[in-house]
Structure 1
């Protein structure tokens, strides 16, 4: 068994790192890319100083699970097992195990594909103000956390820093073209609805999620992550209730703690107490075990 380690940042001598996001480190392997999910966690657009044990492994393993399940959409995965990685990566097996995948190089589309099935988060705030979500008119009288009459596609633009900006359907079509826009909307809704149905059988409500797509030889493929606790709002079905923001398997637990502080939500972010770190790690691990029916390897 490989030793457990928490990783906040990662450099691989001899392997060129080309980007470092809120969670992932991206390395150029020539023909392919290496995506490594660290144990970083962010809230209010700030990266916190504490690693969350097993978080990176959970994110990569859940994405790999869904990528394999959704055979109707091409994805970017080349390899998820370290033993199948190029020889140049083998010296770093301990750092990469369970948290990394080798992927195809695709040109990311300039939109985030957000899909909503329940009234929550920023959607709930907008609905209260205008009875719409991203300009889509909804029936009057809906309550917080209520299931929407139908799944809606509410794209946004990607932001290098800060919050993504919601856009309407016409702007999405302008940015990526009519044909690609239709493809990503259709695929996003299908992936979400099939994933939601599967998760419901395992006691999880997937309230909303976001996907990223890219172009590879002019084909639309699914990239980045898929239906993880970082990209989705997961609610335990046995604690679901209307009129409140249900507890979740994502980092809402961290946000709730930070809201109790006098922190002004600008860097540097405060350190998390040990009990919050532990509880957050448990929530990520439970999401994985519920979805896959097994414990995360090595934990």
Structure 2
């Protein structure tokens, strides 16, 4: 984390760093946080040693754009984009929230961990699916497939909806499920008009002081979602993508690294860094209709 005058470092995650604004008396602001998106990239629960230039700016600006598109569905945590010059463009001032202790995931297409679970059990997160689905199949309707929110360095694990009900209560669990699916549906309504399919997404929710649920962290970015070019979608094989799947594929198929070894992944070569940046920027430009 970099030093920011007037802010106290709070937490450094896989991609984002949190700072607390300092009040005039030097005390920490109890109501606000500065959320800074770095250029770090993670894969398979490892933070890679090679950053992706401009990634933090892409994630922040795309999230801000999506927050506007989703504003009628639920409020979000954004207070201001007036931030220190050192983090301009990749940071926002946000409300402090009591974060829900569940990773809220919705899937419109079958791939990744959901595909593996389906092939083994015929279901994902306890939800039975039709026979004969393959990698990239569109699901009859989007499904909510939550997971644990594991500490950094550990793996999130899929959980059934009953576990979410146990952890959050029936009403709050249903609210989180319905909002996650609504966000993915709205995202796909907008993205498909721009030639992109949103296969799945992960969102974060928190509660404000009045107990109102709010959208937090990031939303519908290449880090939290799988973005596929619609004109190349072909079920039965891995899909072309605008997200960090390109990095995952290089690590597992070309780098010689074994993700089960417990060893840290190798540095990314220049061409993988450049191609990853290009994919993030193209997703931003296609979706927003503006140049980065």
TM-score strictly above 0.5 = yes
Is 1:193 equivalent to 2:185 in the alignment? yes
| Contact 1:46–1:267 under 8 Å retained in 2 | no
Residue 99 of structure 1, aligned match among 86, 90, 94 = 90
Q: TM-score, normalised by structure 2?
A: 0.92
| Contact 1:41–1:52 under 8 Å retained in 2 | yes
Q: What does 1:75-224 correspond to in 2, within 5 Å?
A: 75-80=76-81, 84-85=82-83, 89=84, 93=85, 95-161=86-152, 162-216=154-208, 217-224=210-217
Moved over 4 A (4+): none
Q: What does 1:217-236 correspond to in 2, within 5 Å?
A: 217-236=210-229
| Contact 2:251–2:265 under 8 Å retained in 1 | no
Is 1:274 equivalent to 2:266 in the alignment? no
| Contact 2:255–2:266 under 8 Å retained in 1 | no
1-structure distance, mates of 2:111, 2:257: 24
- Once the two structures are superposed, residues 126-154 of structure 1 have per-residue CA deviations (whole angstroms, 9 ceiling, x without a partner) of 11111100111011111210100111011
Q: TM-score, normalised by structure 1?
A: 0.90
Is 1:295 equivalent to 2:291 in the alignment? yes
1-structure distance, mates of 2:115, 2:20: 40
| Contact 1:10–1:25 under 8 Å retained in 2 | no
- Once the two structures are superposed, residues 231-251 of structure 1 have per-residue CA deviations (whole angstroms, 9 ceiling, x without a partner) of 001001111101011011111
- Once the two structures are superposed, residues 158-210 of structure 1 have per-residue CA deviations (whole angstroms, 9 ceiling, x without a partner) of 01122211111111011111111111111111111011110000000000001
RMSD between superposed Cα atoms in Å:
1.2
2-structure distance, mates of 1:42, 1:101: 21
Moved more, 179-188 or 18-27: 179-188
| Contact 2:222–2:283 under 8 Å retained in 1 | yes
Partner of residue 5, structure 1: none
2-structure distance, mates of 1:261, 1:285: 24
Stretches of structure 2 that go unaligned for 5 or more consecutive residues are 22-28
Number of residue pairs matched by the alignment:
278
1-structure distance, mates of 2:257, 2:138: 33
1-structure distance, mates of 2:77, 2:144: 22
Partner of residue 239, structure 1: 232
Partner of residue 3, structure 1: none
2-structure distance, mates of 1:213, 1:40: 23
